A and B are shown apart, each in its own frame.
Chain A
Amino acid sequence: MKIEFWGQEFKVNLAIGIPGAFLIAIMSSMFGFGGGPFMVPLMAVGLRLPIYVIVGSSLLAIFFNTLMGTFRHYGFGNFDLIFFLIMFPAAILGGYIGPKIAKRLDPITVKRVACAGLLILALQLLGVF
C-alpha cells in the first residue's frame, strides 16, 4: 500500500503491518491497554516509517483497538462503573500534569527509569520475587 504524507510518498508493507497490528491488538486488549508501546516499534522497525508519520497514525490505529476492546469488555460484564469514575478524572489529571513537567526532564532518563520499573514489575508478576 502506498500512502502520501506531507508531500512524500511511503510504501507500507501490509504483509507485516496487518498481522502485526492484529496480534498486538489481541494481546493488548486482553491485558487491557491500548497497544501504543508495541505499535510504534512495529511501524518504525517493521514498516520502516519515519516517526512523523507514526505518531498520529499509530494513535488512530490503537483507537480502533481500544474502542472495540471497551465494547467487548463491557459486553462481558467486566466493566466496573465506580472504579472507572475514580480512575477517569485521575487520568485526565495525569494527562494535564505530564506535559507540564516533561520539559524539565530528560526523556532518556525517564525511559531508563521506566525500563527498570517494568522489569521489576515483570519479575514480580512472574513470581521471581
Chain B
Amino acid sequence: MKRVLTVITVLAVILSFSMVYAQKPEETKQPAKPVETKPAEVTQQAKPAEAVTVKVDKNQLSGGGKITITGKAPAGKDVYIEVWSERTVRAARLDADPDPKTGKRPYIFYMTDEMPGFYKLIIPEKYKSVLEEAKKEGKKWSVSKVIKDAGADAVYGYPAKIKIDRYQTSLWASIIGSRGQKLDPMDEKENKKRSMQLLKARFRSVGAIFSSNLKIEEDGSFKATVEIPSNAAPGKYFVVAKVDKDIKSEPVVVENSISFPSVYLPNAGRTVNVIWPFLLTAAITTFGVLMGAGGGFILNPILVMLGLPHTVVAGTVMPTVLFSQATGIYNYSKIKFISWKLGVTLGLAMLVGGFIGPKLTELITLDQYKFLFGWVLIILSALMLWQTTPKYLEKNKKEQAILKEFKKRAEEAAKKKQQGGK
C-alpha cells in the first residue's frame, strides 16, 4: 500500500512537473506571439469596429487629377491617409547644422534614391492649425514637429522605411570630388528622423507634404480629397488609411497615365509637356547666340524657377552646351583662330574647377543655389552694362575691326589651302 502511494505521488509529481514544463515554453512563447500576429488578430478578431476600410472614387487618372477618398474607421478615432507614388526620385541633404551641445558641424551627406516622387500625408481637419503654424515659420519649419503635433507619429510610415545612405563629407572629399566616407546604415529610429528631413529637402513646402482636408464623422466614416498634380509621375499611386501603426487599411491603387507630348523625366521626377521646354530652350539659345554666349546662365535660373531640381538642371544643361562649344572650336580651328597654348593652359585650370563645381551643386540646397546664382547674375548684368558704355564701345569698335580683318584673312588662307590641297 505504501509502495503504491509513493509510486502515485512520484508519478503525480512527475506529471505535475511535466505539465508545468510543458506549459512553460508555451507561456514564454505567448508574449512574443501576439506581437508578431497582433495586427492580424486585431482585425480578424470579429471586431469590425477596429478595422479601417478605404475607397477611392476612381482608379484611373490621366495626367493627374483629383481623387476623393472615402472610408470607415472605428468611431471617435483620428484617421490619417498616406498617399505615395510608386516612382521614386532622389533626395539629398547635407547636414551642416551645428550640434546644439558641442557646436560642431557634422557635415554628413544624406541621400536616398527611394523617395516617392509624390507623397502626401492627409491629417484630420482638426489639426489644421498645426499646418498653419508651420507655414508661418517660413523656411525653418520642421516635418517632424508637424508630424508630432498632428499626432501622426505612429502613422508616418512609408518614407520612414526608405533606404538612406549617409556619407561623412569633408573638405578633402569635396576637393577630390568623392561623396565622402560611407557610414554604417542607420537604425530604424534614426532612419525615420532623417527621412523626414529628406522629405522636406525634396518637397520643401508644408502644403506639398501635408494636407488637412480630412473630414471625420462621428460614426467614424471619413472623406478626403487629394490632388495629383499634372506634373506628377505616371504609374501607380497607393492610398492607405491609418488609425495607428497596426490599424490600417489595405492599400488602394490608383493608376496615373500620361501620353505624348507629356513625358516623364525620371531624374527630375516630374512630367512635362515636351513643347514648353523645347520652345524655351530654342528661344533662349537664340538670344544667347545673339549675345555671343551659350545662354545657359539664363536657361538655368528659369528652369529652376519652374520647379525642376537644381542638380538635374545643372547636370543636364551642361552637356547641352558641350556640343555647341565643340562645333565652335572646330570652326575656329579651321580658320586658325585659336591659340592652343593659351586655351589649353587656362583650360587645364578650368578642368580642375569643373571637377569640384558639380560636387558643390549636390551639397547646397535650392535656396543657397538661388541666392548664389542671384548674385552671379547681378555681377553678370553689371559686366554686360559695362560692355555697352561708350568708352568700352569705342575700344571695342577698333578691336572688332581688327577681328574682322583677321577673320577675313584667316578664311582666305583656309580656302587657299583647301584649293591647293585638292
Contact = CB atoms under 8 A, between A and B. Distances in A.
B5 interface: no
A124 to B, nearest CB: 7
B44 interface: no
A17 B344 CA distance: 12
A120 B396 CA distance: 27
A51 B400 contact: yes
A1 to B, nearest CB: 7
Interface string B329-369: 10011000111111111111111111111111110100001
Given A59-B328, A70-B322, A122-B381, A87 B353 contact: no
Contacts of B314: 29-32, 73, 78
A57 B287 CA distance: 22
Nearest to B343: A60
A81 B324 CA distance: 18
Contacts of B278: 86-87, 89-90
Interface stretch (B122-130, B216-224, B250-258, B292-300): B292-300
Given A5-B339, A78-B311, A86-B278, A37 B352 contact: no
Contacts of B294: 33-34, 36
A49 B345 CA distance: 15
Contacts of B283: 94
B305 interface: yes
Contacts of A115: 381, 384-385, 388
A22 B350 contact: yes
B263 interface: yes
Contact of A98 (B263, B285, B300, B322): B285
Interface in B358-414: 358-362, 364, 369-378, 380-381, 383-385, 387-388, 393, 396, 399-400, 402-403, 406-407
A56 B333 contact: yes
A78 B362 contact: yes
B234 interface: no
B243 to A, nearest CB: 38
By secondary structure, the B interface counts as: helix
Given A32-B315, A56-B337, A94-B286, A78 B351 contact: no
B371 A79 contact: no
A28 to B, nearest CB: 7
Interface string A107-118: 110111011111
Interface string A94-129: 110111011001011011101111110111111100
Interface in B56-103: 90
Interface stretch (B46-54, B183-191, B266-274): B266-274
B303 to A, nearest CB: 9
Contacts of A65: 347, 350-351, 353-354
Nearest to A12: B342
B380 A37 contact: yes
B265 A83 contact: yes
A124 B373 CA distance: 11
B266 A80 contact: yes
A57 B267 contact: no
Interface of A: 1, 3, 5-6, 12, 14, 17-19, 21-41, 43, 49-53, 55-70, 72-74, 76-84, 86-95, 97-99, 101-102, 105, 107-108, 110-112, 114-119, 121-127
Interface of B: 90, 177, 263-268, 272, 274, 277-302, 304-305, 308, 311-329, 332-333, 337-362, 364, 369-378, 380-381, 383-385, 387-388, 393, 396, 399-400, 402-403, 406-407
